[in-house]
């Protein structure tokens, strides 16, 4: 299930990120280890995390996922190994919240994109997923919440 569309103006947010490019079928192999690596690298620098982790898909996913695993942070991180400093830009986005397990994200994105088009919005290539509630917080997949976001094309 997804919630109704929302239009949101974001503010710039410093991030720590690990960029990853993998075939679609390998996403489940890299996400957990990549997130663990990112959290450990940020913690090693004693940088405060300021919100839920998220992914930024640089372009809409196809057979290859070109994305960044990100944490919002209070202060810039120093690059080390795969860890890189980044920033979520100020932008107008359209978003919804998906309720359910990660296996339903593909269908939720399809429904979300349909709602965006039906509302007459145009978006840029790429997307964001913020993981508000997941397996770290609850074993019940019905309690999981993922915010889906796409940047709007400026009129």
Domains of the chain in start order, with CATH, are 6-151 (3.20.80.10)
Q: What is this structure's pTM? A: 0.93
The whole-number pLDDT of residue 36 equals: 96
Q: Which of 103, 117, 108 is nearest to 1 (CA)?
A: 108
> pLDDT tens for residues 37-61?
999 999 999 999 999 999 999 998 8
The whole-number pLDDT of residue 72 equals: 98
Q: Which of 41, 121, 129 is nearest to 88 (CA)?
A: 129
Q: Looking at residues 143-152, what average pLDDT do you find?
A: 97
Q: What are phi and psi of 57, to 5 degrees?
A: -85, 115
> pLDDT tens for residues 92-131?
999 999 999 999 999 999 999 999 999 999 999 999 999 9
**In angstroms, rounded to a whole number, what is the distance separating the alpha carbons of residues 138 and 151?**
29
The whole-number pLDDT of residue 61 equals: 87
Instruction: Kindly state the percentage of the chain with pLDDT values over 90.
Output: 90
Tokens describing residue 56? 């930024």
Res 155 pLDDT > 80: no
Q: Looking at residues 2-26, what average pLDDT do you find?
A: 96
Instruction: Kindly state the percentage of the chain with pLDDT values over 70.
Output: 99
Confidence of residue 135 (pLDDT cuts 50, 70, 90): confident
């Amino acid at each position: 299930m997804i919630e109704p569309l929302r239009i949101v103006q974001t503010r710039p947010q410093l991030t720590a990120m690990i960029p990853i490019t993998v075939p679609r079928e390998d996403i489940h192999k890299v996400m957990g280890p990549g997130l663990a690596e990112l959290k450990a690298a940020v913690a090693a620098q004693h940088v405060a995390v300021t919100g839920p982790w998220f992914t930024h898909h640089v372009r809409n996913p196809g057979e290859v996922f070109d994305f960044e695993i990100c944490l919002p942070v209070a202060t810039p991180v120093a690059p080390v190994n795969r860890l890189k400093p980044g920033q979520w830009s100020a932008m107008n986005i359209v978003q919804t919240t998906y309720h359910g397990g990660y296996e339903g994200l593909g269908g939720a994105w399809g429904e979300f994109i349909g709602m965006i088009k039906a509302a007459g919005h145009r978006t840029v290539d790429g997307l964001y997923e913020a993981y508000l509630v997941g397996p770290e917080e609850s074993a019940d997949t019905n309690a999981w919440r993922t915010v889906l976001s796409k940047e709007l094309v400026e009129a």
